[in-house]
Amino acid sequence: MPAPIVVPTDFSPPSLAALAFARALAPALGAPLHLLHLVATSSRRPPRGDVRPIAAAARRRLQDALGGEGCTPHALPVVAHGDETAEAITEYARSSGAGLIVMRTHGRSGVAPLLMGSVAEKVVRTAGCPVLTIHRTAPAPAVRFRRILVATDFSAPSDAALDCARALAAPLGAPLHLLHVLEDTRVGDGMGPDVFVAESPEGRSARLREARVQLAHRVTDDDRARLRTTAEVIYGASARSIADYAADNEFDLIVMGTHGRTGLAHLLVGSVTEQVIRTAACPVLATRHAWPGGGVAHPAHAAAGAAA
């Protein structure tokens, strides 16, 4: 059975609009949709009294949102306490065997702002499956994924992202374009502002040649023939350049790897992927190369199985 697509919602228009993007993917992947509502509480304590009436009302709203358009509703309210919203989403995705999570980066309605940007970013860092984030300003009508941009830094997560993009591009009939951003040489210890250093023309040319070699190694003959894959190296600051390049060239989707760092490591290193999620006008699909508990987990497997 194809892995389901999970769409968290708080019933705000932005969060429900994410459903339009999930619907655009579901038929191509043959995947069922799980629309997930979190019943938030204001504290870490479980809610008092019987929550079944709340759950029943939420389920009816979920059925109304999903039904009638060829999708089988799998609507399950989940109680989340305090700041456990992201954990509840990722745990539901794990337990349901989800192949993809689709969510808006902002959703403000109801008793709590369940799907604020920070929640989406935490889901990206911790989910064991790809996460498709939709910027709150992205239009929902007439959703199409006609051109896919894959941003790569040649790391293992980026290679996993490329495999995931291949699995999506094939059933969608969308060509792939690989992009590597060659940044200025910098020196820093990760604890303060980096210092950019001058680079000789020879050094710059050498780095450009190496980047092109790395790209060539990743684009197979099958990629070129079947997915019409192309590749390019540009200069600039990674996150800004990726977002601007996607907008200037009218890409419908950006696919990127994420290292999934949390805690102090995330604070020190940050995430280019998260910066792109915040600034890109088009949806961003982020994928990790390992499950949080360790062990290799290839995010493309679920999508590839669905596309077969």
Residue-wise pLDDT for 77-101, tens only, equals 555 555 578 888 899 899 989 999 9
Q: Are residues 18 and 79 in the same domain?
A: yes
Of 248, 306, 9, the closest CA to residue 130 belongs to 306
State which of 74, 106, 134 marks the end of a domain.
134
Give the confidence band of 256 by pLDDT, cuts at 50, 70, 90: very high
Q: Are residues 65 and 180 in the same domain?
A: no
Range of the domain at 94: 5-134
79 versus 296: the higher-pLDDT residue is 79
The 3-state DSSP class for residue 155 equals coil
Q: What is the pLDDT of residues 201-248, one digit of tens each?
A: 888 889 999 999 999 999 999 999 899 999 999 998 889 999 999 999
138 versus 35: the higher-pLDDT residue is 35
Q: Are residues 160 and 118 in the same domain?
A: no
Residue 28 resides in a domain: yes
Q: Are residues 164 and 294 in the same domain?
A: yes
CA distance 79 to 88: 8
Judging by DSSP bridges, how do beta strands 195-196 and 186-187 pair with one another? antiparallel
Of 172, 166, 93, the closest CA to residue 127 belongs to 93
Residue 293 resides in a domain: yes
Q: Are residues 92 and 178 in the same domain?
A: no
pLDDT value at residue 175: 95
> Across 113-220, where does the E strand assignment appear?
131-134, 148-151, 176-182, 186-187, 195-196
Give the confidence band of 50 by pLDDT, cuts at 50, 70, 90: low
11 versus 213: the higher-pLDDT residue is 213
Residue 188 resides in a domain: yes
Task: Give the pTM.
Answer: 0.79
pLDDT value at residue 26: 85
Residue 139 resides in a domain: no
Report the chain's mean pLDDT, rounded to a whole number.
Answer: 75
Residue 34: which H helix or E strand, with range? strand 33-41
pLDDT value at residue 45: 55
Q: What is the pLDDT of residues 262-286, one digit of tens each?
A: 544 444 344 788 889 988 989 999 9
**Is 252:144 a contact under the CB 8 Å cutoff?**
yes
CATH number of the domain encompassing residue 33: 3.40.50.620
Residue 142 resides in a domain: no
Q: Are residues 65 and 93 in the same domain?
A: yes
